[in-house]
Chains A and B, each alone.
Chain A
Amino acid sequence: MITVSDVSKVYPTRHGSVLVLDGVNFDVKPGEKVAFLGRNGAGKSTLVRLISGAEAPTSGTIRREMTVSWPLAFGGAFQSALTGLDNMRFICRLYGLDWKERVAYVEEFSELGAYLKEPVRSYSAGMRARLAFAVSMVVEFDCFLIDEIIAVGDARFHEKCRIELFEKRADRALIIVSHDAPYIRDHCSRVGVLNKGRLTMFDDIDEGYVFYKSIQHV
């Protein structure tokens, strides 16, 4: 269970402080798949970082009673001067795992081949996504945080992710940030829409989507 209570986040900027999240409340039960929608800059990625614990909320509390992955996002998680393999070793050491027995899986899933021994800064967005996914799968979390990263992959990568996430790990919780309506409809049971710092949760995906569309035209 993840419980987010009254969470607000303020960022200082040159023109005063900006309230990105304003009194956000929700919870995620084990095995639940929850999606987050919102316009660019609505605070989706911020919310995901707060859930992961990488950043602290300005006020409010977040209780994590299951293991939560780092945000699987476009940036972050990897040190770009290091190779993919060194980054994988780093993450395994960080989570107290033996990397040797996990290299084969990462090699196979990421399909990076010789690039695994090249610096991550030379990778394309798709290659980074494959590496991030492969490494998070070997660490094995109870809840995976996915911030739009599946979107960059090709069909083959999508299919692999689907098998790993929704078949082999159907019992895990997922928190997904995506703009892809069919994807959310297929995979999630609840959706939260972020608008002006406020979060509205919907148990019906279509209802949430209609609301999301309506705020886009204002």
Chain B
Amino acid sequence: MATVANLSRAWAIQRRVIGALFIRELLTRFGRHNIGFLWLFVEPMMFTVGVTILWTAFKSTHGSNIPITAFAVSGYSSVLLWRNMPSRCILAIQPNLSLMYHRYVKVIDIFLARLLVEGGGATLSFIILTLFFSYMGWMSLPEDVLKVAFGWFMLAWFGCSFAIFVGCLAEETELVEKLWHPISYFLLPVSGAAYIVDALPPAFQKVVLILPLVHGVELVREGFFGSHIRAHYDMGYLATINAVLTFMALVMLRRVGAKVVPE
């Protein structure tokens, strides 16, 4: 019984800490000026809309005949998940070091608060854009919402565990911060956001399917277009990679947590 009571108390504190940090993140990132918190999803929305317009203008369906708007929304929204989460976790500790004077604030809370902001923003923008564009008649609603949600969840899980891992690694060596930008840039075209696997030559399909991200994006696409495309994915593979990444992230968290000196 004592352990249950301890656990529920720990959970209550954890919630308080992440809640307080979440608001603190929103305040420093978006402030109270002009549209304030609305930036949380307006920012990713502007990106997605921009890409949609570009792709529509160039008629670049990247080797398929599925609707461009839906293709861009599903593709680029997923990029926001795996790219922005690590970006926000790299060098996340430094600006929060002074808050670590409070015993309850730990490295994991800082990461989780930022991931919540990032993941929440991307998810909101994804939903709002899908609804808005469908209302405008530029795309149709997903054929299978559950599939989309599951694919999205798996991508978010990948983003979170990868972000915490990279965020911790950045505390060990500043190389990570320098390398992340080129890596994320080169990952973009192969991530599955800008093509569907089925349109690639079979030999190349095998190569891109090594990337765990592609599986998640493919499932989201199947949820959207269902019968119109032939999606290639293996959720078992993505789940295994996610689990391994999560484990590595937690190991790194322990290492970094012991080293951090509050300012």
Q: Which residues of A contact B (CB under 8 A)?
A: 11, 49, 52-56, 68, 70-71, 73, 75-82, 86, 89-91, 93-96
With a cutoff of 8 Å between Cβ atoms, the chain B residues found around residue A49 in the complex are 101, 262
Which residues of chain B from 98 to 144 have any CB-CB distance to chain A below 8 Å in the complex? Answer: 98-105
Given A86-B24, A93-B23, A77:B99 Cβ within 8 A: yes
Identify the closest chain B residue to A71 (Cβ). B101
With a cutoff of 8 Å between Cβ atoms, the chain B residues found around residue A53 in the complex are 103
> How near does chain B come to A83, taking the closest CB pair, in angstroms?
9
> Are A80 and B258 closer than 8 Å at their CB atoms?
no
- Give the segment of B14-22, B34-42, B191-199 that binds chain A: B14-22
> Are B28 and A70 closer than 8 Å at their CB atoms?
no
With a cutoff of 8 Å between Cβ atoms, the chain B residues found around residue A95 in the complex are 16
Q: Is B87 an interface residue (CB 8 A)?
A: no
A58 to B73, CA, bound (A): 50
Q: Is B189 an interface residue (CB 8 A)?
A: no
> Are B101 and A54 closer than 8 Å at their CB atoms?
yes
With a cutoff of 8 Å between Cβ atoms, the chain A residues found around residue B261 in the complex are 11, 55
With a cutoff of 8 Å between Cβ atoms, the chain B residues found around residue A90 in the complex are 20, 23-24, 99
> How near does chain A come to B110, taking the closest CB pair, in angstroms?
11
> Are B103 and A52 closer than 8 Å at their CB atoms?
yes
> Are B24 and A75 closer than 8 Å at their CB atoms?
no
Counting chain A CB atoms within 10 Å of each CB, the highest count among B19, B96, B99, B101 belongs to: B101
> Are A79 and B95 closer than 8 Å at their CB atoms?
yes
A79 to B27, CA, bound (A): 11
> Are B104 and A94 closer than 8 Å at their CB atoms?
yes
Identify the closest chain B residue to A94 (Cβ). B20
With a cutoff of 8 Å between Cβ atoms, the chain A residues found around residue B99 in the complex are 77, 79, 90
Q: Which residues of B contact A (CB under 8 A)?
A: 12-13, 16-17, 19-20, 23-24, 27-28, 95-105, 258, 260-263
A89 to B17, CA, bound (A): 12
With a cutoff of 8 Å between Cβ atoms, the chain B residues found around residue A80 in the complex are 98
With a cutoff of 8 Å between Cβ atoms, the chain A residues found around residue B13 in the complex are 96
> Are B20 and A93 closer than 8 Å at their CB atoms?
yes
Given A70-B101, A82-B27, A93:B262 Cβ within 8 A: no
With a cutoff of 8 Å between Cβ atoms, the chain B residues found around residue A91 in the complex are 102
> Are A54 and B100 closer than 8 Å at their CB atoms?
yes
Identify the closest chain A residue to B28 (Cβ). A81
> How near does chain A come to B31, taking the closest CB pair, in angstroms?
9
| 3 nearest A-B pairs in the assembled complex, by CB-CB distance | A53-B103, A93-B20, A76-B101
> How near does chain B come to A187, taking the closest CB pair, in angstroms?
23
With a cutoff of 8 Å between Cβ atoms, the chain B residues found around residue A79 in the complex are 24, 28, 95-96, 98-99
Provide 14 A-B residue pairs closer than 8 Å at the C-beta atoms, listed in order of the A residue.
Answer: A52-B103, A54-B101, A54-B262, A55-B260, A76-B101, A77-B101, A78-B98, A79-B95, A90-B20, A90-B24, A90-B99, A93-B16, A94-B17, A94-B102
| Extra A-B contacts (15), CB below 8 Å, given A79-B24, A94-B102 | A53-B103, A56-B258, A68-B103, A70-B101, A77-B102, A80-B98, A82-B24, A82-B28, A90-B20, A90-B99, A93-B16, A93-B23, A94-B17, A94-B20, A96-B12
> Are B102 and A54 closer than 8 Å at their CB atoms?
yes
> How near does chain B come to A102, taking the closest CB pair, in angstroms?
15
> How near does chain A come to B257, taking the closest CB pair, in angstroms?
8
Given A70-B103, A94-B105, A76:B16 Cβ within 8 A: no
With a cutoff of 8 Å between Cβ atoms, the chain B residues found around residue A73 in the complex are 101
With a cutoff of 8 Å between Cβ atoms, the chain A residues found around residue B105 in the complex are 94
Identify the closest chain A residue to B29 (Cβ). A81
With a cutoff of 8 Å between Cβ atoms, the chain A residues found around residue B17 in the complex are 94
A56 to B96, CA, bound (A): 18
> Are A76 and B20 closer than 8 Å at their CB atoms?
no
A90 to B27, CA, bound (A): 11
Identify the closest chain B residue to A77 (Cβ). B101
With a cutoff of 8 Å between Cβ atoms, the chain B residues found around residue A77 in the complex are 98-99, 101-102
> How near does chain A come to B108, taking the closest CB pair, in angstroms?
14
> Are A76 and B98 closer than 8 Å at their CB atoms?
yes
> Which single member of A11, A52, A75, A86 contacts B98 (CB below 8 Å)?
A75
A11 to B260, CA, bound (A): 11
> Are B20 and A52 closer than 8 Å at their CB atoms?
no
> How near does chain A come to B26, taking the closest CB pair, in angstroms?
11
Identify the closest chain B residue to A46 (Cβ). B261
A179 to B229, CA, bound (A): 75
With a cutoff of 8 Å between Cβ atoms, the chain B residues found around residue A54 in the complex are 100-103, 262
